[in-house]
Structure 1
C-alpha cells in the first residue's frame, strides 16, 4: 500500500493541531509527509459553539475542509476530520464521540473514510449560578488538561459573548465572576476543539487507524485502495429460531476507480445472530 503514497505530501485541513494525532499514523503506515496549510480557517465550516453553523452533515464538512486545503496548497492529496457529539446511536443514554477522518486523492480519483465511535468523552455542559458550581463542573470534565468554553446564554448564541479555550483556573474564575455579576448566570461547556481536548484527540487517532485499515482493502480487479462496503443488507438469522434480525447479513463492496463490485456475506464473521438480538426470541 505504501507504494501508492510513499514520500507524497498530503495536506491536513486543520487549525486545531489535529496533526498531533493524525500525522504520525500516516507517516508510519503510508510514508506520507503531512503539511498543515497556513491561512486555513476551518471554523467557516462550523464550530462546536454553534456561533457558525455546519453546512450540511458531518461528512460534507470534512469534504469542504479537504477541498479548501487542496485549493490553498495546490497539492493533490488531502486529509480532513470532523467530529460529532451526542447520544450513542444504539445506547442513547450514553454520550458518544463520532469521528471521521477523510482522505481525498485527486490523482487516483478516490475518497476513503475512516471512522471511530467512542463513549470515552468528557463532552458536557451546565448552567451555573455560583463560582463554586463552576469550579466543580470544571473538575468533573478534567480541567485544565481539557479546556472550557464560557458564555452567558446557550439559547442566544449570536448575542452571547463567548470565551473559548479557557485552560487556567485564574482565567476561569475571572470570566465566571464577570458573567455572574453581569448576567446572573454562566453557561459552561467542554471545549471540544482537538487541541483543548486530549480525550477527543485519542478518538481521532482511532479513526485514522480505521482509515489505514480501509485503505489496506484492495480492489481484486485493479488493486486500488479503499475497497470498502458501500451498502449493507440486514437479516442475519437468529441462531435459535432462524428469524432474520437487524444485524448485517451481507455488504456490497465497490471500487471507486474501476467500479468492480462484490456482494460479501457475513461481513462481521458471524453466520448467525445471538438470540438476544432477535426480536422474536427477545421481544
Structure 2
C-alpha cells in the first residue's frame, strides 16, 4: 500500500456514526487518521424519511459532504458517504441498498469512489393493530434496527424517529394512533446509518472497496486510484471463434492524468459457447 496518506488527517463529515465502520478499515492500511467532523446538519442534504428531499444524485450528495468536511476541518483530504435504497436490479421485487464512499484529495486534484451494494432492510407497514406492528418489529430485527412512526400514512409530516426500545415503540404507536384520522399508523425501518446495522455493514464494505482502489497507483503519475473504467467485449467463442459478449480486455485509466491503457484478459482466452451469438442465438 502506498505511504501517501501516512500520518494524514482525513476529514469525515457525519452525524450518524459512520466513522465506526470506516476508520477501522482505512486507518491501519493507510496509516491515516479519520477525523469525524461535526458542525453541519447532513440531513439538510436529504433524508430517508422524505421530510427533506435530496437535491442531485447520490454521488453529488457524497461529494458535497466531503467538501464541507474539508472546509470545516481545514483538512486537504475529505471523506463522505451517501446511501440509497431502491428495487433490486434482478427482479425489482426486493429492497436494494447502494452505498458510495467518496475520497477527495485537493492536493492531487483527485476524487476516488468506493461502492458496495446488496439486499437492504427498508420494509414498512401500515396498520392500526399493535400485535401486527409487534410481529413486524420482531421480524425486521427491532430494536437493533430502529423504527420510524407516522400517523395515518407514509407522507404525514408528523415523524417520530429514534425509536429504539419496546416501551418507546408502544408509547409512540399509541400516540400516533390517537393523532391518526384513519386509525392507521405507518411504520418503516429507520435508514439512518447508526439506526440500521445492515446499512452500517455495507458502508464498511464500501470502505474496503475504496481501499482496494487506492492500492493501485497510476504508472505514469503515481496518483492512487488507477482503475478499470470499461471492459471491451469480443472474447472468441471456444467452439467457433465468433466474437462474444464476454470481455476480451479491460481499459484502465488514471483519475488524475490522461494516462490510460487497454489490458488484454489473461484468465481466459476463449468464451463459453453460451455467450456466443452464433452457438447460442
**TM-score between both structures, scaled by the size of structure 1:** 0.89
Write the deviation string for residues 224-277 of structure 1: whole angstroms up to 9, x where unpaired: 1100123344455555664633x544432221222201123449x455555556
Aligned length: 278
Q: State whether residues 153 and 185 of structure 2, in contact with CA within 8 Å, keep that contact through their aligned partners in structure 1.
A: no
Q: State whether residues 2 and 31 of structure 1, in contact with CA within 8 Å, keep that contact through their aligned partners in structure 2.
A: no
Q: What SS class does the counterpart of residue 36 from structure 1 fall into?
A: strand
Larger Rg computed on CA atoms = 2
Q: State whether residues 2 and 29 of structure 1, in contact with CA within 8 Å, keep that contact through their aligned partners in structure 2.
A: no
Write the deviation string for residues 146-165 of structure 1: whole angstroms up to 9, x where unpaired: 101111255535xx200112
Q: Residue 174 of structure 2: which of 169, 173, 177 is its match?
A: 177
Distance 2:91 2:161 in 1: 30
5+ residue gaps, structure 2: none
Distance 1:139 1:240 in 2: 54
Distance 1:237 1:86 in 2: 36
Distance 1:234 1:253 in 2: 15
Query: Could you say which residue in structure 1 is the equivalent of 2:251?
Result: 252
Query: Could you say which residue in structure 2 is the equivalent of 1:132?
Result: 131
Distance 2:4 2:176 in 1: 54
Structure 2 matches for 1:1-283, cutoff 5 A? 1-119=1-119, 121-157=120-156, 160-183=157-180, 184-234=183-233, 242=242, 244-245=244-245, 248-266=247-265, 269-274=267-272
Cα distance, 1:17 vs structure 2: 0.1
Distance 2:13 2:155 in 1: 30
Distance 1:125 1:240 in 2: 50
Distance 1:170 1:124 in 2: 21
Distance 2:278 2:47 in 1: 44
5+ residue gaps, structure 1: none
Q: What SS class does the counterpart of residue 37 from structure 2 fall into?
A: coil
Write the deviation string for residues 171-210 of structure 1: whole angstroms up to 9, x where unpaired: 1111111222321111111111111111111111111001
Q: State whether residues 12 and 79 of structure 1, in contact with CA within 8 Å, keep that contact through their aligned partners in structure 2.
A: yes
Q: What is the CA RMSD across the aligned residues, in angstroms?
A: 2.2
Cα distance, 1:34 vs structure 2: 1.2
Q: What SS class does the counterpart of residue 96 from structure 2 fall into?
A: strand
Q: State whether residues 116 and 207 of structure 1, in contact with CA within 8 Å, keep that contact through their aligned partners in structure 2.
A: yes
Question: Against the structure 1 CA distance between its residues 35 and 239, is the aligned structure 2 distance closer, same or farther, given a 3 Å change threshold?
Answer: same
Question: Against the structure 1 CA distance between its residues 170 and 282, is the aligned structure 2 distance closer, same or farther, given a 3 Å change threshold?
Answer: farther
Distance 1:96 1:110 in 2: 29
Which stretch of the first structure deviates more once superposed, 32-41 or 105-114? 32-41
**TM-score between both structures, scaled by the size of structure 2:** 0.90
